Structure formats: structure tokens, C-alpha cells
Chains A and B, each alone.
Chain A
Amino acid sequence: MEDSSDGTSTTKHKFKLFVSGMSVKSGHAIENIRKICDTYLTNNYELEIVDISRDKEQAVIHQIVAIPTLIKTHPEPKRIILGDLSDKEKVLYILNLSE
């Protein structure tokens, strides 16, 4: 891991994406985050997708209000992004990733 060529991805990124069922926005969000991660964090990320319509307790534990919600749990600082992540520039900026 340490000898990774990309400077921004020396540490492994961990994400939690909260979606609800098969909603269109959820689908978009999954698609968008996958695309971003594959491009900028090749193989150096963990993405957990939580369907709160099935796992309702998780919504309470993680204080989920809006769907979809992406939480970057690692590395610090923790970031929470609401929305389908269609604004790629903004997502990259918030996650502190660059091309």
C-alpha cells in the first residue's frame, strides 16, 4: 500500500453509501461513486452500500435524513455528502481528490 504511485491515495479510503431500495437517485449515486472511485482511487477503497429500507437501524445510528447519503469514514476528516453525486467537481473537491 505504501508504495502506491498515486500521492492522494496513500491511505485507503472507506466509504459508506446509504441508499433506499431501488430508487432512481440511489442508482445514480451508486453509479457515480463507483466511477469516481475507480478513476481516482483505483483498488484503494472500500465502498459499503447500505440499503436502509432493509436495514432501518443503520439509518438511526448514522443519523441519516436524506437519501442518498455518502459518508467518508476514513481517512479523517469525516465528510458527509448528500445527493446523487452528479456534481462530480464538487464531490472531488469535498473528498479532496484530484485528477
Chain B
Amino acid sequence: MQEKTKSHSFIFPKTPTGVDGLDEITDGGFPKGRPTLICGGAGCGKTLLSMQFLIKGITEYDEPGVFMSFEEPSDDLTLNVKSLGFDLEQLKKDKKLVVDHVRVERSEIEEAGEYDLDGLFIRLGHAIDSIKATRVVLDTIESLFAGLDNQAILRAELRRLFHWLKTKGVTAVITGERGEATLTRQGLEEYVSDCVIVLDHRVIEQVSTRRLRIVKYRGSTHGTNEYPFLIDEDGISVLPITSLKLDNEVSSDIISTGVPGLNEMFHGGGFYRGSNILVSGTAGTAKTTVACYFANEQCEKNEKTIYFAFEESPHQLVRNMKSIGIDLEKHIKKGILQIHSSRPSLNGLELHLLTLRKLIKEFEPTTIIIDPISNLISVGSEHEVRSMLVRLIDMLKANNITAMFTSLNKQTDSFRPDLAEESVSSLVDTWITVRDMEGVGERNRGIFIIKARGMGHSNQVREFVITSKGIELLDVELGPQGILTGAARQSYQFKKTMSDIKLQNEISRKDREIERKRKVLEANIEALRNEFESAEEELSILKATEELQEKLSSKKK
């Protein structure tokens, strides 16, 4: 290990935390063999984070750990983390974990004279040695300040303790309650200064978000932003805001849109695999239908698909799609399609993102559909939504998942998008808009492509109708004033048929006339020929007479 790290490309020795995402931010984990301070206010997950660090250390890296609790008794801890699927009792039995509850009751204790914290040292040392622990958590050591009077001794002893932990070579996590002006109430950051992580819990517009920030990390680079993190049934996961690179592989595969006629509007014949497609439109313009068509198409090709419905329940969606001839149920039964419905306001944005992430990890779909993405906007501020979507799209791209989002936008007069769409528009690769076209007492639906990265596409607004057989894109009808839709299209078509018939009649009339004229012509020709023939005859008679006369006159000479 030592030799390895001394090689030319020096790698700072780190202990992986096993906490989803945290290792990415810290570039490998907490500093190995050094204490790390985790501080934050009440209820922001300090104990859980440190517990997860220990348990993951045991289960994933086979590094036994010691949890020294100054606040909660061992039984309470066991119970608390049981709901997260961690079984402390089993780990204790396996000699992988020691939990020691240090109880200091001020009311029971008097002080008379000099003392030190050798008792604590010995207990900790004993615990570490008994299972050969390499990870230690002290949660929350500041409780000692409440239990003991002599602050001078305490400070000196804590300094000694952290030093001692370093010499022991254990990777320690010390938690601390957030102070008013300092990171921790007792200024622990003065003693533990190798790595300091601050947890924070904020409520903005009734939605709470937990955040994590690395304040310092000696000897290593680290992400400096505030990263949202979540606590759910699997413990803590941290979500890096954006991945640092944009270097995902791209595919040139074309996949069908599922809507007959729409494929032809793309010169490539569909979407690129792994691209993001936004289908936007006002209410009732069949965004969901377009999305279901795509889902259906993908399922037909045995591509695993997840459909996140934020407006309809799975049953409702299945029923509604049946009415236009799409059977989603058979795909669900086959296990290719999953429909997840939830209200956007159920969770904060981060939790939504995490749910998506989890499902993607578990189900490994090649296609996901979010219907509609604009509902999420109601959950957070525009900035938050944007940052979430960036992360979502990053994640999807990294996994080469084709994603279709629908977005409900407000009715505007222009064809251009409104603000809600704008936050996503620069992120998506392909953007299709479905639109109401209101005219003389009727409403028609039109579909057109706003953009398609890396692919030529039609510039026309295509009218489509939804019947019990599904979506049907109608042929483009070019009228004198542009493309015609709805009733205009029908009246135009009617007019066209009328004029067609008229033209036909005209033509046959002309034909007949020509025929007549030809007959006249032929008659005339016949007459002329007769005339010509009689003239010819006359001429030959004259010629014969003249010859005769000449003969007679020569005989006379």
C-alpha cells in the first residue's frame, strides 16, 4: 500500500464511505487513518451518515468498526437503523461491530481534583483492539461538555484523543452539533481539521431538502458545492449536482417513434437511441398519447420501459390507452413495462430524482417516459428544477437511456415555447410540439418538430386525428394560403373534388367537340378530294382533246 502510494502518480489514501455519491464528491472517501468531522444541526442525519459509514465498511469493505455513542443507548441505535435494513445485532455477533454507549450524567457526577479521560481512551482502545477495527465513530463527543465541568481538561483531552486516534491509524468520524458562529458548538473543528463536512437541513416553500458540503479536505481535491442528499429506506444517498464531464458515448441507432407518419418527418426515420425527447403542448393535445405510442413501440421491440406518470394512475392510463387501441397491459404482464404513478408534491424534487435513479438501477430500462415533466416544476423553483433535470438527463445519457418527457405549457398565441419549457429546451435533443389549431368553430391538433439534434426534419405542421384506431397523421394539404386543417381541409377537399368533376365534364365535352370537328373536317376533306378529282378529270379530258387536235393538224401539213 505504502509503495503504491509513493509511486509517481500519488493517490491520497482514502477510506471509501460506501455512501452513494459521497465517494464521488470526496474523490474516494474520507482521509484514511485520520479523523473527519461531520457537523450539522439537529435532525440532519449526522448519526445516520456515520452509522452508514461503519456498516458499509463492514458489509462492503470488510473493515470492522467501533461506534461510540455519547447520546443514544445501543438498543435505541439498533432500533433506529433497523428500519434502514441494517442489523446491528448480527454484526455485533459476528465480531465486526462494537457499539459502546458512553453515559455521562451530570447530576450523578461530582468533580474533586485533577482527572483525565483515560477511561474513554481505554474503552475505545479496548473496543478497537477486540475486533481489529479500522473505522471509528464518535457520536457526538460534544456531549461530554455537557456532562463534565472542567472545560480546560476536556479540551486538552480531546486534542489528545484525536492525536491518539491518528496514531492508532483508524479512520475516525466525529460528529458535532452545529454552533451559532462556529461549525460546532465547542469548536471541534480546531482539533479535527483534516476533513470537515457540514450537513444542513433547509425548508424552502414547504419542501425540505438536506444538503451536504465539504468545507475542507486536506491533501485532496473535492467537490465544493452544496450537494443535496436524501434519507430513504436504504440510508443516505448524495447526488452530485452534475457530473463533471460531458463525454458519454452516443449511439447512431435509430428507433421508431411508434407514430405512423411521424417517423417520416425525421429524415433519419425516428429518434436516436439514448437521446432525450421533449413533447410539449397545451392541455389536451395528446402528449400522453404520443408518449404511450412511443412506450408501446419500445415494448413491442422488447425494450424495457419505465413510465412515470405524475397525472394518472397506472390503471387509468392503461384504460385510456385501450380506448385508442393501445394495449399496455400485456407489456406490463410480460414485465417489460413498468408504470409508476405518484403525485409530484409527494416528495421534494430530490427524492423524485432518487426514486428515478433507484428504479433505473434496479430495472435497467432502455427507455423511460416522464409524463409530464412540467408537473415537477410546481414542486421546486425554476432553478432547482433545472438543476434536477440536468442531473436527470446526465444520468440518463450516461446509461444510454432514451427518454421522452412531456411538458404541459400554457396556451400562447405564438408557436414559441413559454418559460417552463425553456428550462428544459436547451437540454433535450429532440423537441416535438403538439398544438391546438383553432379555426372556424373547431379545434384541430397539429404536430411539428422544433428541433432534432443531428437529424434533418420536416418543417411542416402536420395535422393528426385520434380515432379509436389511434393516432393518424393526415397528409399535407397545401391550399392557396398554406397548409389546411380540419374543416378547411374538408371544404378544400370538397371544392377540389367538385372542380375535378367539372374539369372532367369539360374535358369530355371538349373531346366530343373535337370528334365532331374531326367529322366535319373529314367531310370537308372528302368534298375537296371529290372536287380535286373532278378537276383532275377535266384536266385530263382537256389534255386528250389537245393531243388529238395536234395530231390532226400535223397530218394536215
- The interface of chain A, by Cβ under 8 A from chain B, is 18, 20, 23, 25, 28-29, 32, 52-53, 56-57, 59-60, 63-69, 78-87, 90-91, 94
Contact = CB atoms under 8 A, between A and B. Distances in A.
B205 interface: no
18 contacts: A53-B122, A57-B126, A65-B102, A65-B148, A66-B115, A66-B116, A66-B120, A79-B108, A80-B109, A82-B111, A83-B111, A83-B115, A85-B113, A86-B114, A87-B112, A90-B110, A91-B112, A94-B112
B108 A20 contact: no
Interface in B54-113: 100, 102-104, 108-113
A65 B113 contact: no
Closest 9 CB pairs of A and B: A83-B113, A67-B118, A64-B119, A86-B113, A56-B126, A84-B113, A87-B112, A66-B115, A20-B118
Contacts of A90: 110, 112
B123 interface: yes
Given A56-B122, A56-B126, A63-B102, A25 B112 contact: no
Nearest to A24: B114
Contacts of A81: 109-112
B112 A20 contact: no
B104 A65 contact: yes
Interface string B409-420: 000000000000
Contacts of A64: 119, 123
B117 interface: yes
A67 B120 CA distance: 9
Contacts, number: 97
Contact of B119 (A65, A79, A87): A65
Contacts of B112: 81-87, 90-91, 94
B119 to A, nearest CB: 4
Contacts of B109: 80-82
A68 to B, nearest CB: 6
B144 interface: yes
B119 A18 contact: yes
Contacts of B148: 65-66, 82
A60 B144 CA distance: 16
A84 B111 CA distance: 9
Contacts of B123: 56, 59-60, 64-65
Given A56-B126, A60-B100, A78-B108, A67 B114 contact: no
Contacts of A56: 122-123, 126
A87 B102 CA distance: 26
A67 B111 CA distance: 11
Contact of A59 (B103, B122, B144): B122
A78 B126 CA distance: 27
B126 A69 contact: no
A36 to B, nearest CB: 11
B113 A66 contact: no
Nearest to A91: B112
Q: Is the interface of B mostly helix, strand, loop or mixed?
A: mixed
Contacts of B118: 20, 23, 52-53, 66-67
A81 B148 CA distance: 11
A82 B110 CA distance: 6
Contacts of B113: 25, 28-29, 32, 83-87
A57 B102 CA distance: 13
Contacts of A57: 126
Contacts of B114: 25, 28, 83-84, 86
Contacts of B108: 78-80
Contact of A67 (B102, B103, B116): B116
A7 B109 CA distance: 26
A25 B122 contact: no
Interface string B107-148: 011111111111110110010000000000000000010011
Contacts of A28: 113-114
Given A60-B100, A65-B144, A20 B119 contact: yes
Contacts of A87: 112-113
Contacts of A69: 115, 119
Nearest to B103: A63
B123 to A, nearest CB: 5
B110 A65 contact: no
A56 to B, nearest CB: 4
Given A25-B115, A67-B122, 11 more contacts: A25-B113, A60-B100, A63-B102, A66-B118, A66-B148, A81-B110, A81-B112, A83-B112, A85-B112, A87-B113, A90-B110
B119 A66 contact: yes
A16 B213 CA distance: 47
Contacts of A65: 102, 104, 117, 119-120, 123, 144, 147-148
Contacts of B102: 63, 65
Contacts of B144: 65
A64 B114 CA distance: 15
Interface string B138-182: 000000100110000000000000000000000000000000000
Nearest to B98: A60
Nearest to A60: B123
Contacts of B100: 60
